[in-house]
Structure 1
């Protein structure tokens, strides 16, 4: 038997949306593995063993798979329910070679579901952790499925034909192409798995009693009244709404909507599995939010659902809505009738979900509740290819798999706007949040969302305003805003708001001013302007090419009925569908919130409209920006760093001495100013004279993190006497460095989080770094453009580009250092903290003057290339 344990189980989606458990081989699996081979067709066995195997050969193969897991032998199987449907393994001849020979076998009836690809993905990840960088194998030329699996898994797969056999090889080391391929497979599987949830052909509401006002009764009523297009069943103990049990249903059912007491939910899931259910919405409370017993109940519920291949929304949720006319699913107890639109919504809070439903037209809505199974990551994958969804709005209280979220939401953002509200940014907010234990550091979350191009509204109202602007409207080509109004005071407010939100209000050319009514931008037409004059001014500016966005502000007066103003503007904007536009109508008395066929949003205040336009401009700017690439870095020696890191961890890890820190940084080409480590005053003087005055003396104690705060640094020492005095003050363990002046002080470093991964930091440095709090962060992986944007985002960036005639710093060298830090962090999650402060940037390059490094062992962390569902654990 292998060393695999139950906690090594990874639930994953097959290409048809089914759920399989990928795990090591366990003692109880012997009869299942034997059945896998004895139940196979002769042709399948021939393709695997190159001839018809004897019973002894099959027994020997099963025995091989049961060998203990080691650096030489790995085996993984795929189980669906109680059945083993596939197995993969690899062997290497010794502990040092980075190559291992692999094999994969999948049951005949389960081929074509992507099981072999899943097994190889997980085997490759496990092999990678064992130091295996390449998997090789022999395949018969007719085994097209196996050849395709190898090619799909790695962009660097190779094959070579000879002697009637195809030798194949694939790397276990991930790259951008491999990540893209994994994401394509993941999106297809996610979409298939959510089909029964979002587009079911039949729904059963369990707990749909006769009592009006009960959750089950009202949900069944809403499904009927909204016009669900499929078969609809009511199930209650009394049978008054249709059936007493799911077992009594006359036909198979796709989706269960469950509104029964918490302890009754699991039996309903089991009955639903017998009835063919593939998805369930658990409206019931009493699970993860309800103490230890509730958390245990939720864990068992998810395990049961996964065992039967059922995707689960909730528990403790508001429900699910799909406004598609072919489905018309309102499986929720939210008030009101859902409005159809282009916004996909996922919310962890039912109350926030209700507010979004009240203000927006949606394509699909999912109240995530406790997020035990289906999460924002699943829906992001679904919305990626959903033609009905033009933009996405997320309300998040926690991240289940932030590394996957970062990658998938960034890919979605390149296609569609994504807006997100993340709660728990303050101490009070974190205490109030339902998922406080999973709250992430605010700065890390900010960096994740900024890198992914996510629009960050300032609150719920701002989110609704921005979503209306970003759903189905053209994106602005720049930040130039033109304002047309019949109310001068509101023009001024709009212009002030534009400047506050990073937009410009450019002057118009004389010709455009004449056509627009004679006033400059913002254009004030006066209170007596007719609807025709307002429309003509808007058309003149729209046609001029002198603005990227148009805001029309109109005040309804006795002379101008709101409807007439809206009609005039609608005609102008419908004729110019590529212009980003918004309108403000004051005192509109409930007049429509959209203009014309293109549904231009109408707001009640100029500040709200400007803020929404600014969100659109910022998102459009991010979307136009190239993603960049991950460049090859010369003079990088991970092997040399690995030796130093392993020795450090063997010594207990923690804060590292200067020499070991420098060895690791040198291995990645990160420039650190040389320092002499001395233990006597005379040695300090000798080192100072070799370096050349002035020099710096500082404590070599690795545990002393803030040396300057405790007298552990002495600057500007210009002679031997000063060095001796400084040595006596600091202690017996001292570093001596030449002092460098006249450069910009920065701070750079790495911080590691077990869930989010490593973050690279750059900021204003020196002793005031915490006070200034001028920093930019990036999560891994980093591109060359990420490195460039990091220093440009700093408030102190002008100091690097020649502020007031000073020489500009070598920003190329700074970007190179940041990329090397990113590579170090990527290769060594054991780098718990690295603080380079100060980093001196000048015309001649970039050098770190001081470095603090803390190393810590890492446990099993999420693998970016591993497809798996969220763990079925209590929150």
Structure 2
């Protein structure tokens, strides 16, 4: 939304501070900067406060706010004075503010409505105020608090900051640094997880449900939903608008527990009118099956943004529009509120998808395999509830041990990485990304663009421990393995089959996936029957030299698949080890209930369509187990970083720079910014003539390098604009004249040059950091050169990084052997390169003003690195700080 200027100083309105947030009780509110037009709302807010709350905020009774104070509260410059408000139902329910007391510190205060106490509003305000403060260069918050104001003191201490308190003259003085710490981020993420998971309970574990159908399409959808809901209609589901059921929402009698979830299939205009009535019934979430909303230029339809705003104003979450539905679980029991009316077995796999078409494909595959689901959610156009929300719920759901996400696009990859990593620590997360870019622009979907290649998304998944698959069948087969079989504790794979050819295929695939054969593959006769397999199972059960078994069966004569399937299941049940099969005539899960593993719980063995898919699935399972057993590393941080100097530098450079434009820092300012983060660069001299070049070389010391200042040519020694290892004035003179002529030929204009001391020999790398419209801050590294760029041999990560992340970035490059020691050559100082990556990641993570940073080349030698070229672009920040809770 666009706003006018909000102070006499004509300060620009910081729109990127606006956000929707989920509170401790699972409800939603809107947070935004205060506006002059909020004067009446602030007066009403103050009038609703109890005398005690007023006294705790202002240290005095204050029945009405003086006009002067009211003007000062609502007219701020968003720089030296900042104020944020939280809104619910069109009214302000909380106000937080800070006023700078010097260049380093700001005094913070907030006031929460009596009616909103106990919902975590204060902690949300503090997070967002601290994020705004960090953006503006504030390092420390101070506050004066009355001793009896225990709630405010608890907000400060519980946030995870290192809080210092002093008591003086009846007042507690509080002071703390607002830079995020491991502890404060852990507190924030845990609060976010609990709040978002709680908001999702209304969707995936509702007590009572309301089904509303209206219009031709909506009524058809509702009638199909009735078929899937079955007997629950008379017990937990109230129906409106379908023949034989209530005609109006107001006629429904939900009982004391109220209605959590509304299933709505109706025209768009009717949905907007329905929302306030649902709110009065206590509904906390809506699943919307129908469409008809506007997501692009004005077309006369109801804007999707209006739909979301209306629901959030009433504290509700939205699944849809165009959702295929939800399958609920939890303590209140199962409800099939999807458009799929065939039975779905109960199990431990949770599935998230977006479009209805994807939902249909997934549930068809689930039914075909006999896969057991705990929950299912189709987000449709994903205008509110997303895969991140669903994964947050799964982190708290004991029934979901394997999570599957089928994605057409990702709204917030940075948060996805963080939430998926947390969920991966609980159980496997399997992802299938449709298309080739990871950002399919589907009708009705709001999809942000990105400037980085698909590899960035793949590496983000890897960074989070997510297992990727190429298709829905592959995802469901892997989910069957992970949900029904134990994780492989080791790499040793036992092979049992009835053909020598298949045994050879299995053996090669096992080696390809970096697993190990457990002895020689067992290859029986093509005529092998159930009894033959039983004998081999007996032999395998007597062996302790295997961790995983893969069993194949390809009959050439009359098949004995059922008997062999029973033996495969016996192998899994009696060994307790991981077993998979590729079995002619049987697909899905081998499920013979007469071979119990736990009382009442049969052991199920997944079958795969081929040897390739079976071994690939086992390798994925083994890789996930290794990821769980390994440390995820320690978040990178450096004690010698001068954050205040860096913030002051970029803000000074941005003074007067219009929004949407970038500015390249001078070499001197670039070097200064890098030094503030401990990144030392190789000195150089900019020269405009041969005489200046000779003087610079004499000052620097021979030998020297000569490089054109032309950006496209300065890294291309093959084009003649870069000359190295010049040891005498004569060599420099010849090189200067030749390079000057060459650049003039290539560009048609004269150029300046840089003279630089020669660095020790090594391998040239490129480290980049950029602000991406989709990912936000993103770090990349690769070896220098056109071939690397053309082949896409570049590794990407989203900060903050751990030491394991920086190490993995380097080693995931296909050209990494050149750094690690190739063909007997000594290894280079990769640790020094990893430190540069880490320091750049800290700089980019904390300085949204840096739109692009490039170090090129970073010459990695046997002892250290030499950064020979660099540039930094800055722009007005377009993203909020990561250390705050927000909804999309």
Q: Conserved in 1, the CA contact under 8 Å of 2:264 and 2:287? A: yes
Distance 1:776 1:543 in 2: 46
Could you tell me how far apart the structure 1 residues matched to 2:739 and 2:480 are? 62
Q: Which moved more, 1:599-608 or 1:209-218?
A: 209-218
Tell me: CA distance 1:737–1:69, structure 2 relative to 1, closer, same or farther (3 Å).
Answer: closer
User: What corresponds to 1:572 in structure 2?
Assistant: 571
The root-mean-square deviation of aligned C-alpha atoms, in Å, is: 3.2
Q: Secondary structure at the match of 1:588?
A: coil
Cα distance change of structure 1 residues 113 and 665 upon mapping to structure 2, 3 Å threshold: closer
Match 2:23 to one of 14, 23, 29: 14
**TM-score relative to the length of structure 2:** 0.88
Change in Cα spacing, 1:56 to 1:250, as seen in structure 2 (3 Å) is closer
**Aligned residue among 92, 96, 101 for 1:84:** 92
Aligned to 1:253: 259
Match of 1:514 in 2: none
Give the number of equivalent residue pairs: 848
Contact 2:403 2:427 survives alignment (8 Å): yes
More deviation, 385-394/332-341: 332-341
Please show how residues 617-636 of structure 1 align to structure 2 within 5 Å.
617-636=622-641
> TM-score, with normalisation over the residues of structure 1?
0.89
C-alpha separation between the residues in 2 aligned to 1:569 and 1:213? 48
Paired residue for 2:243? 240
Give the structure 2 partner of residue 487 of structure 1: 499
The Cα offsets for residues 388-425 of structure 1, whole Å up to 9 and x where unpaired, read as: 11111112222222222221111111112111122342
Q: Is the 8 A contact 2:137 2:648 kept in 1?
A: no
Q: Secondary structure of the equivalent of 2:143?
A: strand
How far apart in 1 are the matches of 2:200 and 2:144? 37
8 Å CA contact retained: 1:154, 1:170: no
SS state of the match for residue 603, structure 1?
coil
CA distance in 1, matches of 2:625, 2:227: 42
Give 1:457 deviation, angstroms. 0.3
2:88–2:313: 8 Å Cα contact kept in structure 1? yes
Aligned equivalent of 1:815, options 826, 834, 838: 834
The alpha-carbon distance between structure 1 residues 199 and 586, as it changes in their structure 2 partners (threshold 3 A), is: same
Deviation at 1:7, TM superposition (A): 7.6
Distance 2:179 2:328 in 1: 40
Change in CA separation of 1:436 and 1:64 when aligned onto 2, cut-off 3 Å: closer
Q: Does 1:698 find its partner at 2:707?
A: yes
Call closer, same or farther: CA 1:295–1:827 in 2, change over 3 Å: farther
1:438 corresponds to which residue? 448
Name structure 2 gaps, 5 residues minimum.
Answer: 1-5, 367-371, 596-601, 741-750
Range with bigger deviation, 747-756 or 206-215: 206-215
For 1:868, the equivalent position in structure 2 comes to 886
1:469 corresponds to which residue? Answer: 481
Q: How far is 1:374 from its partner?
A: 0.8
1:770 aligns with 2:789: yes
The answer for the alignment partner of 1:603 in structure 2 is: 608
State the shift of 1:861 in Å. 0.2
Q: Which residue of 2 aligns with 1:497?
A: 509
For 1:725, the equivalent position in structure 2 comes to 734
Aligned to 2:389: 378
**Residue 387 (structure 1) shift:** 0.7
Report the Cα offset of residue 313 of structure 1. Answer: 0.7
Q: Which runs of 5+ in 1 are unaligned?
A: 509-519, 871-875
8 A Cα contact 1:209 1:241, kept in partner: no
Mapping for residues 578-589 of structure 1, pairs under 5 Å? 579-588=577-586
Distance 1:609 1:260 in 2: 45
The one-character-per-residue Cα deviations of 1:801-833 (angstroms, maximum 9, x if unpaired) are 332332221222122111112122223333333
In structure 2, C-alpha distance between the alignment counterparts of 1:637 and 1:305, rounded to whole Å:
44
Provide Cα deviations, 1:77-101, integer angstroms capped at 9, x if missing partner: 222213332222223334x2x2222
Shift of 1:435: 4.4
Alpha-carbon distance, 1:229 to partner:
7.7
**Partners of 2:125 and 2:142 in 1: CA distance:** 15
Partners of 2:71 and 2:708 lie apart in 1 by 59
- Report Cα offsets for 1:700-742 as digits up to 9, x if no partner: 2357565447542123545433322322233351112344464
Secondary structure of 2:575's match?
coil
**Structure 1's 264 and 171: CA in aligned 2 closer, same or farther, altered over 3 A?**
same
Q: In the aligned structure 1, how far is the partner of 2:735 from the partner of 2:848?
A: 37
Worse-superposed segment, 14-23 or 364-373: 14-23
C-alpha separation between the residues in 1 aligned to 2:169 and 2:265? Answer: 63
Per-residue deviation, residues 10-32 of structure 1 (Å, max 9, x unmatched): 22112111222222334454444
Separation of aligned partners in 1, 2:873 and 2:276: 47
Q: Measure, in 2, the Cα distance between the counterparts of 1:151 and 1:205.
A: 45
Which residue matches 1:149? Answer: 155
Cα distance in 1 between the residues matched to 2:296 and 2:240 = 26
Aligned-partner SS, 1:293: coil
Quote how far apart the aligned CAs of 1:194 are: 2.0
